[in-house]
Structure 1
Amino acid sequence: MTKAIDAINNNNMSVRKAASQFGVPKSSLSDYVTGRSKVGVNFGRPPVIPAEVETKMADMAMDLAAKGFGIGRRQMIARASTVCKDLDIKTPFTNNIPGKFWWMGFRRRNPQVVLRKPEKLSTVRSRMLNRTTVGNYMLDLYPLATSLPPTSIWNMDETGICLEHQPSRVIARQGSKSVPGRVGNSRENITFLPCVSAAGERMPPFIVGKGKTPRSLRSFNVHEGP
């Protein structure tokens, strides 16, 4: 808008041409030129939560996402309601709970905050899958693997049913390359575990099913489990 007004004042450009060249609505540009509106005026209500508090909330949410414990939009709205209550801020929100317009304003005031869907990667795996940890593991594994016959080296893999969880979108920092998800959201009930040795020998398939009751999984009343 400012560039369009400068072009009209300095280059004697018409309102129509400036609106077309700079992608500004002609009616709005005409209002600014004639003085009916002023550049830089912010309309609407001021933010309910102070800017420094909102900045801390955004940083907290992005830090949680980086650690694998990201929070979603509803959780951020609930925390905003708690902050207003703790700081004794009088709000125009219904039942003191911010709505979608507060969320839209929060995103606009903190452009580094985006909604990202976490990768299918648990927090533990994201911490352990790095060059140093994997390299040390392979160095320790090599002498053991070379000292054993092929019939004593077995590999078990989870095949047939995917065990990856399906997390919902969480708040993260814009441009972040990896957003791990929380463990425990898997929905699968059965796991198929094949096991093959380095010599090509195969064990019979082993099926791990979901426990009949929580007590069965905690070794109480095991004989009634599947």
Structure 2
Amino acid sequence: MAEQSLKRKRFSFAEKYSMIQDVDKGIKRIFVQEKYGVSHGTLAGFLKDRERIEDNVKSPTKLEARANRQSRYHEVDTALLEWFRNIRSTRTDTVVTGLDLLAKATTLAKKLSENHIEGYDNFSLDLNWIERWKKRHGVSCKQIVGESASADHASAKTWLDTQLDPIRQDYDDKDIFNADETGLFWKMSPEKTLAFKGETCKGGKHAKDRVTVLVATSADGEKLPLYVIGKSKRPHCFRGVLNIPVEYEANKKAWMTGQLFEQWCNRLNNRMVREGRRIALILDNFAGHPHLDLSNISIFFLPPNTTSMTQPMDAGIIKNLKHHYRRLLVKRRISCIDSDQECKITLLDAVQWLKTSWQQVTSDTVKNCYRHVGFQPKTAAAAATPSEDLPPDETEQEDASLWSAVCEAGLAEEGTSFDEFVNIDESVATGATGGLTDIELLADVLDTTDSAEIISSDSEEEDEDTSTVPKYNDVIVSLDTTLKYLRSIPESGDHVDAVEKAKQHCIDNRIEKLLQPRISSFFRKV
């Protein structure tokens, strides 16, 4: 009997991405082929096409699509979507009609034509194109009911009574998340505290030392990895680094945009799909937070002008993160002065410190901040959990000692405090708060132009380490020296173990490379 041929099946981008993830988890390809009913060649093709598949699953409107049909006017298509999201986020009572969309799309296309962008010499846009655009992106032009700009304590109380209580009835605390962005002057020295106090930093010379950090936790203390947005896509200090300590992206302003936030939400949604969880994500009404339809995440928006009363991130979680970060920064400055060395801080140092600082923010701190904005414990056991001061009491004495050393070293201006230094960037902009200009809308769409500007900005704006990767022998000697020093310090056993583990990892990697067969070993000597 002849073997029955398999019926050809077209897979969605979501299904293709699931196959790729299974292979990445270490599942043997033969088992993945059997699970999804694909041939060896088909699976190999999906793996080869990984980058395009991953790009498509970032958009919920393309997740179930089986082919990627790009719009003829792709640049206008993408910029128009960003404009629409910005309007919806900043002016919720505005109705955007098809004619409004057509007028904006035509304006954007004219800008591209004036700049001699290929494909826009004789562009033709009409309402049929707009209708196809709306279907591609799942856009509805109906009015969104929003809160008034004068929201106050009454609006916050209404939110707690009519929104938060139902959310907590439908979701466990472990599945209720809050996320918010904060600006960070990542290498700001203490002596600049007065000069930068209240700085919004929407551009100019200070922008190069600023990043935007997305911070997110659940109500029961689970912390998601930090998402950092810088200004350079490939900073000098990242070259040769395979393991960046945080999730990292970049754009010209180091701002959160609707597109970047959508990508982050899709990665989080994919994780929740894998874990079999459905979560609630609470957000403020910020232009960079678009309305998204996700399979495993339901998004709820806080009333405008109430975040200080309703948002856990603003209740102390972000401040605690920055408190730990600035302690590490101050310690580095004092150490450099003590050893008479130049204090050179790179963006790689900054993201590593951010990760370390995030690890130091405890679950009790997170839970306490949620309680502060109305998340009352559901059980008596949870209510008995002691709350944690921000910053913790046991660190206050060390903070005072550190700041005293900073002042003695001449690193701080008279009349400033460590708390002021911690909060130096609390007013820094993390995204567009008003309407974006046509140039701003198109800047990130034109990949070649944007990348060229971002790459060229590295050498001009970042004073970072561009040295090559150190040699193996030098690394082992340095680790041995570190171990010798650590063993002379009391109560450093855990740190010794960590360095020993790092040293062994370097040795194992070296041996693995030495044991790899060379091409010459496949040929017999004559």
Q: What TM-score range do you get, normalising by the shorter chain? A: 0.3 to 0.5
TM-score, normalised to structure 1, is: 0.36
What TM-score results when the alignment is normalised by the length of structure 2? 0.18
More helix by share: 2
- Structure (1 or 2) with the larger CA radius of gyration: 1
